[in-house]
Amino acid sequence: MAKVEFNETLCKGCGLCVNACPKKILQIGKRINAMGYNVAECVNQAACIGCAFCGIMCPDCVITVSKEVKQ
């Protein structure tokens, strides 16, 4: 299972991550950060495949994608 996390204080809500997600589980949310931008959010963590396309596309490097390691 993978997890997507956003540094919401730096997100500008550009939507590039939303467009890059092959599972369509990201969206620009209703929360507004201190800079006045609506921030991106993951609406279905369980569906994340950990491809990290969102993080690659983010021009401000605010996205971290981590995968759970099975032992």
Report which residue type is found at 19.
N
15 CB-near residues (< 8 Å, 6+ apart): 28, 40
Q: Render each residue's pLDDT in the chain as its tens digit; 71 residues.
A: 899 999 999 999 999 999 999 999 999 999 999 999 999 999 999 999 999 999 999 999 999 999 877 76
What are the boundaries of each domain within the chain? 2-67
The pair of three-digit structure tokens given for residue 47, joined into one six-digit string: 């569906």
Class of domain 2-67: alpha beta
d(CA 53, CA 17): 7
